[in-house]
Amino acid sequence: MEILIDVLLIIVGVAVVLWGADRLTEGSVSIASKIGVSQMVIGLTVVALGTSMPEFCVSFMSALKGTADMAVGNVVGSNVFNAMLIVGVAAMVAPMCVMRQTVRKDLVFAVAASVVMGALVFDNEISRADAVILASLFLLFMWITIKGAKMDNLVTDMTGTFADDHSDSGNSDQSVSSTWKGIMWIVLGLAALVGGSNVFVDSASSLAIAFNVPDAVVGLTIVAGGTSMPELATSVVAARKGNSGIAIGNVIGSNVFNILFVVGLTGIVCPMTVSGINWIDLAVMIGSMLLLWLFAYTKLTISRREGAVLTALFVAYMAWLIVQSA
pLDDT score for 131: 92
CA distances from 249 to 45, 155, 228, 267 (A): 8, 21, 15, 25
Q: What are phi and psi of 126, to 5 degrees?
A: -110, 95
Angle between helices 68-80 and 279-299 (to 10 degrees): 20
- Cα dihedral angle (133, 138, 144, 150), rounded to 10 degrees? 180
Range 79-101 burial, b when 16+ CB lie within 10 A, else e: bbbbbbbbbbbbbbbbbbbbbee
3-state secondary structure of 301: strand
Instruction: Report the distance separating Cα 133 and Cα 141, nearest Å.
Output: 12
Per-residue pLDDT tens digits of the chain, which is 326 residues long = 778 888 888 888 878 877 876 776 677 667 666 666 555 566 666 666 666 777 777 778 778 777 777 788 888 888 998 899 888 988 888 888 887 877 888 889 899 999 999 999 888 889 999 999 999 998 898 888 777 665 445 444 444 544 444 445 455 555 556 777 777 877 787 778 767 767 776 787 777 777 777 767 777 777 777 767 666 766 776 677 676 666 777 788 888 888 998 899 888 988 888 877 888 889 999 999 999 999 988 888 888 999 999 999 999 998 888 787 76
The span from the first CA to the last CA of the chain, in angstroms, equals: 23
CA distances from 103 to 93, 215, 293 (A): 21, 35, 7
Identify whether the C-beta of residue 57 lies closer than 8 Å to the C-beta of residue 266: no
298 Rama sector, left if φ>0, alpha if ψ -120 to 50, beta otherwise: alpha
Identify whether the C-beta of residue 252 lies closer than 8 Å to the C-beta of residue 99: no
Identify whether the C-beta of residue 232 lies closer than 8 Å to the C-beta of residue 85: yes
Which DSSP helix (H) or strand (E) runs through 148? Answer: none
Length of the chain: 326
